Homo-oligomer: A and B are copies of this chain.
Amino acid sequence: MDPHLLAVDWGTSSLRGALLDAQGRVLDERRADRGLLSIEPGTWGQVFEQHFGAWLRQWPSMRCLMAGMVGSRQGWVEAPYADCPASPADLARGLCWVQPGRVAIVPGLRCVRDGVPDVVRGEETQAFGALQLLGLTDAILVLPGTHSKWVQVADGRVQHFSTHMTGECYALLRRQSLLARSLPAEDGPLRPADFDAGVARAQQPGGLLHHLFGVRTMALFGQRSDASLACHLSGLVIGEELRAQLAMQAVPAAARVVVIGSDALVARYQRALASLGVEAVTVGAEAGWHGLLALAATIDQ
C-alpha cells in the first residue's frame, strides 16, 4: 500500500518518522537520537535527507509534515507561533514549507495570560490527534513531560494552555539538590502508597518549597526508604502541578481529562488525578501521528 503521509516528530532529544496510511496506521517507522540538542546549525536538511530522503523519492506524491522543536528558533526553520484560539486548519495555514508543497513544519501555538505568554510546540498536534481518536471537540488534555502542557479545547479549537516545568524540576531536585543524597541512584518502579502520599501532601498548606524539605527530614529520621522517598518526591511535584492547575481551571463534573504520553508517566498522572476525584482517559504516543494526519487533511480540503 502506498503511504498517505510521512509524519515526523522532531523534538529536543530525538527524531521519529512514520509512514502512515490514510487511517493513521503505521506502515513503517524510523527513530534516531538526533534531536535539536545533537544537530549542528545548518545541517537539519542533511539529517532529514539521511533518514527520510529515500522514502520521499520512492513516493513522489507523498507529503511530509513535521511537528516539534524542528520549528523553533534553534531548529531547521523557525515556524512562527500561531495564536489561540486555533483549530487544525489554523495550524495548517501557518505551516512553514521547507520544500514547497511537500515538506512542512507545523507552527507552535502561543497564548497569553496576564501579559505573560505561554508557548507549545508539538503537543498541540498530539492534542488534536487525541481528540480525533476519541471523537471529541471539547476537552481538557494534559501532556506530561519535561514541560507538562495542559491544553483546553472547545469547539475543536485550542482556547488556552499552560506549561508547568514539572519534569525538569523533578530531575533537578532528584539529581542536583540536597534531596539527591537521600534518594537512590535510579528510580525504581512506582510505589503507589508513597506516590499517593506525595500527591496528598502537595494539596496541604505549606507550598512546594516547604513540602520538598519534608523529603529531607523523613530521610533524616528514617521514616521512609530511599526508594519510597523518590516516589514521594514524584508525587509531590506532580501533585503540585495538579493542585495549581485544577485551582486555575476547574474540571466540570463528569468531565474526563485526557492524558497523553508514555505509559509510565501517564499512569502516574492518571493515578494522581483519580486521587483528586478527576477521571482520566489515556492516549498513547500515536496521538501525534493522528494529529499530523488531521492537519494534512485540512491542506487537501
- Residues of A whose CB lies within 8 Å of any CB of B are 73, 113-114, 116-119, 147-148, 162-166, 168-169, 172-173, 176-178, 201, 204-210, 212-214, 217-218, 220-221, 223, 237, 240-241, 243-245, 247-248
Most chain B CB inside 10 Å of its own CB: which residue of A178, A208, A223: A208
Report A246 CB to chain B, min CB distance, Å.
Answer: 10
Cβ contact within 8 Å between B116 and A244 = no
User: In the complex, A206→B245 CA distance in Å?
Assistant: 6
- A204: chain B residues within 8 A (beta carbon): 114
A-B pairs, 9 with minimum CB distance: A207-B244, A164-B209, A205-B248, A116-B214, A163-B213, A117-B217, A172-B172, A164-B210, A165-B212
Closest to A115 in B: B223
Closest to A207 in B: B244
- A208: chain B residues within 8 A (beta carbon): 207-209, 240, 244
- A169: chain B residues within 8 A (beta carbon): 173, 177, 209, 212
Cβ contact within 8 Å between A207 and B243 = yes
User: In the complex, A172→B171 CA distance in Å?
Assistant: 11
- A237: chain B residues within 8 A (beta carbon): 209
- A173: chain B residues within 8 A (beta carbon): 169, 172
User: In the complex, A148→B167 CA distance in Å?
Assistant: 24
Cβ contact within 8 Å between A217 and B118 = yes
User: In the complex, A208→B245 CA distance in Å?
Assistant: 11
User: In the complex, A162→B207 CA distance in Å?
Assistant: 11
Cβ contact within 8 Å between B162 and A210 = yes
Most chain B CB inside 10 Å of its own CB: which residue of A163, A165, A168, A243: A165
Report A85 CB to chain B, min CB distance, Å.
Answer: 18
User: In the complex, A95→B207 CA distance in Å?
Assistant: 33
Cβ contact within 8 Å between A241 and B116 = no
Cβ contact within 8 Å between A165 and B116 = no
